[in-house]
Amino acid sequence: MNRIPQHIAIIMDGNGRWATERGLDRTFGHKAGLDTVTRITAECSRLGVKYLTLYTFSTENWKRPAYEIEALMGLVLNFLEMELFSDNNVKFKMVGDLESLPESVQKKIHYMEDLTAKYDGMTLVVALSYSSRLELSSVTRQIAQDVKDGKLNADDITEQTISDRLWTSFMPDPELLIRTGGELRISNYLLWQIAYSELYFCDTYWPDFMEDDLYKAIASYQSRQRRFGKTEAQVEEDEKVKK
């Protein structure tokens, strides 16, 4: 409990395979995955995590069958009606291409962001219709326009210039990224933000991801030394100075 990540990002993978292996339609996997979202959100809040970002739907997912997309959007609406937020003092935020979503989902997102703005506990961030490349392309256009308009000198562009324009600019970068489902890739998720995140992959499908699995991921994070380019000796010396 002395070193809980302040920001955990999760790629919730394996819903479809979980359902298929049980002879069910893929949409049943997404419904089961929603139960996991509720449990893990509540537990992260209890542990003292400040930000939890969940990769819910990517821009590439629009290529999926229409019935599956419709079911996913319906689950999003159901999720945003849950008492999870009020029961756990959780603030809701969304990152992604909002305008690509159905109008009913857009309205619900705005409503929930406004409704939970007063909560001061953990912030649950849903990455919906999200693409890191799309995000970075948008930032690049903003910077280029600012330079063109004379608001920004090209020589003054820094890493912070980019970070300040990201959809995630309201929160710190993730300290821990978890991917369930056994795949070993990032899938166009928070590419800029996870430059120094600790990565944790597990074979467990998201619907089966329990609190104990979360603890294992956090314990793995706690066992690592985050050096940010420094040597092990330098990090140890810095820790002594802090003490």
Give the whole-angstrom CA distance, residue 178 versus residue 11: 6
Give the whole-angstrom CA distance, residue 98 versus residue 111: 13
- C-beta separation of 205 from 15 below 8 A: yes
Give the whole-angstrom CA distance, residue 231 versus residue 243: 19
Q: With both helix axes pointing from N to C terminus, report the angle between 211-222 and 26-47 in degrees, rounded to the nearest 10.
A: 50
Burial per residue of 142-154, b for 16 or more beta-carbon CB atoms within 10 angstroms, e otherwise: ebeebeeeeebee
- C-beta separation of 56 from 12 below 8 A: yes
For 127, phi then psi, to 5°, come to: -85, 105
Query: Catalytic residue positions?
Result: 13, 61
User: Which residues does 159 contact at the CB level (< 8 Å), separation at least 6?
Assistant: none
Which tokens hold the place of 32? Answer: 């089961």
